[in-house]
Chain A
Amino acid sequence: MLVVLAVAVALIAGPLRRSRAAADESAEWAERAELEAAKEAKYREIREAELDYRTGKLSEADWRALDAGLRADAIELLRRLDALGPGDDRGREG
């Protein structure tokens, strides 16, 4: 029981005892994370549209039109990510 208590206290109190706690930039992180998630979803959409075309569910003309639109959306997302400045890769990969 005492061992469990000691381990729990050491674990929980760790961040509070450290003097060099990292600065929090949650808002910037959140904005970047939202854009990264949207970008991943957009890439997936581009890939799936291509697969739909190759499996005969989309005509070439429809796919090209759709692909162009999706790429334009992706470019806009990249622009917005660039505008946020360089980020911390650890945050992106998690």
Chain B
Amino acid sequence: MLLAGRALLILALAIAVYGIIASLYGARIRNAPADRRRSGRAWIDSGRRAVYALTGTVAVCFLVLEVAFLRSDFTFELVATHSSTTTPGFYRATAPWSSQEGSLLLWVMLLSGWSSLILYLTRRRAREIAPYATAVLLGLAAFFLALLVLLETPFARASPVPPEGVGLNPILRHPAMMIHPPMLYSGYTLFAVPFAFAVGALVTRRLGADWIRTTRPFALAAWLCLGVGVILGARWSYSELGWGGYWAWDGVENAALMPWLTGTAFLHSVMIQERRGMLRMWNVSLVLGTGILAVLGTFLVRSGILESIHAFGASTLGIPFLVLIVAMIAGSIALVASRAADLRSEHRLDSLLSREAVFLLNNLVLVALCFVVFWGTFFPLISEAITGKQASVGPPWFGRYVVPLALVLVLLSGLGPVMTWRRATAANLRRVLAVPTAAAAVTLVVLLAAGGVAARPLALVMFCLAAFVLAVVAQEFWRGVRARRAMSDDSVPRALVALVRRNRRRYGGYLVHAGIAVLFVGVAASTAFQDVRDVRLAPGERARIAGYDVTYSRPTARLDVASNGSLEKIDLGAALRVRRGGDEPIALHPERSYFPSSDPTLGPLSRYFEGESTSEVGLRTGLRRDLWTVVSPDIGSLLAIARRGDEVFREASSLPRGERAVALGEALRRMIARYRTDVAPATFRVLVSPLVTWVWLGALIVFGGGLIALWPAPAAARRRARAGYAARVARELGRA
């Protein structure tokens, strides 16, 4: 299977290269005399079909790898180093993308899949642009396939073939990790679609509304997938990494956030181009920049550059990625510069009091946010390059710039929906802003009266702005429903459904704005008003934290045995009893899981305590606040016993294999039993974070709104609507 996998990769690379040549050759000769023109179309079709063939070939490749992981086939070096027989089946299925090679293969599979979809859907449209877009998409696929064939093959043979694998990195054993990487990569690869069509539009100078109409759903889907990926990553960080937060401004997190920010800007500004023919240069620049940032995101994760410039030099992928990114930047700049005359706007801004102006400002804020994130992410490398020493910037630095920009962004997300296109009059604005402004004012008064919030003025401003946005959105829905009911006898729920169905983009977008407001309320509250304490408690002892009485009832311990009978991990934890005021007490069970190390220098017992370990959070979530706990068990006494036990097993090396395994299991069981009765203190981190759940709820609303905006209108309804408007315009035409 290893040979078949490698051969399939080479075949995929050959298909991609062929597709590029066929597409470009076909595009070149289709403007030739009639007989050659026919052949040009055939070559273009053949190039498009190469993308379909590539998808199938790469999918078979991935299937070969997936089967090897599921069967724990350790002849695959990748399986031996990233899985084991003790890794649960669910995680064995996800283990391929925990490796560099597997994730690159996943990238190509997703890219070719999405490329096939867009090229199939547009097979009778965007005919001038499509062959160039095909060549760009296949070019990206060829780059990644070349890496897989020449530098990082997933089909390397293990030598010697080990009896057991190293296992999946313990921190990746979380359900979110099943979906997080494919969603991020779907976002990255979907952003390649508008990038490729923008290049095609620039090459052919077809820079009107058609390429936008063609690629807009893909840009929106990319934005949605990347957003889901980012939030799943945040959720994983919150519940798995044991530091208590969901966003650390880590380089890899930032890498996904940057294209999401510019993608958000594009989705707004592209509406101005659709309606007014404005911002053409800005839009192609945004979409090209987003495509480059998507590749940069993959590069940041895979090159090791964020560790250090030297790690980048040592990485096999650093230089090729750098060459690709430089080529993409240089090519984009050259294309935009050479088409400057074709990218002139058809109209100018009519008024600063218009939706166009708000969108423009929103774009500037989003791009500024992206720049801040970019600078903060690359600052360690810049400082290392200039001074030779790496200096990094932390959350306070990001907060200094991101918080004010986020406040402006939330304000704009409330102003955008109430503005009309072209020009809003002051009288109408006064009318539509009255209720939202009152909502913000009431929120301010209530929060000031409640006390405690005034000490955090930025959080207070965020709460008021969020109230403003939510009131705007509620008012928009209410006015829409009222208008709908004025034209029909529908009940309120029916009118609401009909309103949203007929105006999915508008009302889906409004829901996204509401979700963003809810999300930012959660972020502001959980960062400004979080209580965190590290306490050391012995069994039976109690600590008081942010109004909670936390009692360490007893230590817990268990051996976690895999389905094949081997020991997967040891869980050492604590049973906590928590009570707030006169409420019913609740039980929390934070744990620390110890995974056996495959380091042969460690003894047979101590390897179970000196390998990697992960925190299992004891979490009580609520709409008002989360109580979050982790435990660091004191395993000093267990380690001392384990080391003595190692000596005993070393002396009994002549023991038959079966008896040795039984003795080892018995020794571990006794150690675990001893820990359960241990009275040694453990260290706990306890966090009380208000409104964290609002972050996840806000994200759910954002994605719900995004799905509504993305959902295609039923074909029949679309045709009816189009025919209706066509008839009306035709009537006008008859009178004209």
Contacts and interface: CB of A to CB of B under 8 A. Distances in A.
Contacts of A5: 11
A4 B59 CA distance: 11
A83 interface: no
Interface string A10-50: 01111110100111101101100110111011011111110
B446 interface: no
Interface stretch (B73-81, B157-165, B417-425): B417-425
B294 to A, nearest CB: 25
Nearest to A58: B420
A1 B420 contact: no
A90 B125 CA distance: 9
A75 B122 CA distance: 27
Contacts of B476: 55
A71 interface: yes
Interface stretch (B49-57, B91-99, B220-228, B381-389): B49-57
Interface residues of A, number: 53
B733 A45 contact: no
A15 B42 contact: yes
A40 B480 contact: no
B506 A51 contact: yes
B49 A24 contact: no
Nearest to B506: A48
A94 interface: yes
Contact of B483 (A38, A49, A51): A51
Contact of A30 (B52, B204, B503): B204
A59 B424 CA distance: 10
Interface residues of B, number: 76
A24 B122 CA distance: 15
Contacts of B480: 51, 55
Contacts of B34: 23
Nearest to B46: A15
Contact of A38 (B53, B209, B736): B209
Contact of A15 (B8, B45, B420): B45
B319 to A, nearest CB: 31
A26 to B, nearest CB: 4
A66 B122 contact: no
A91 interface: yes
Contact of A56 (B4, B422, B431, B726): B431
A78 interface: yes
B125 A94 contact: yes
Interface of B: 4, 7-8, 11, 15, 18-19, 22, 30-31, 34, 37-46, 49-50, 52-53, 56-57, 60, 121-129, 204, 206, 208-210, 212-213, 274-275, 418-425, 427-428, 431-432, 476, 479-480, 482-483, 486, 503, 506, 721-722, 725-726, 728-730, 732-733, 736
Given A48-B421, A52-B421, A94-B125, 11 more contacts: A1-B8, A8-B57, A11-B49, A26-B30, A33-B127, A34-B208, A40-B209, A55-B479, A55-B483, A62-B423, A66-B422
Interface of A: 1, 4-5, 7-8, 11-16, 18, 21-24, 26-27, 29-30, 33-34, 36-38, 40-41, 43-49, 51-52, 54-59, 62, 66, 71, 74-75, 78-79, 88, 90-91, 94
23 contacts: A8-B15, A8-B57, A12-B50, A16-B46, A22-B38, A23-B38, A24-B37, A30-B206, A30-B210, A33-B127, A34-B206, A34-B210, A38-B208, A38-B209, A45-B275, A51-B503, A55-B480, A55-B482, A57-B428, A59-B428, A62-B423, A62-B428, A78-B726
10 tightest Cβ-Cβ pairs between the two chains A and B: A15-B45, A54-B483, A37-B209, A55-B479, A24-B41, A8-B53, A34-B208, A94-B125, A30-B128, A37-B210
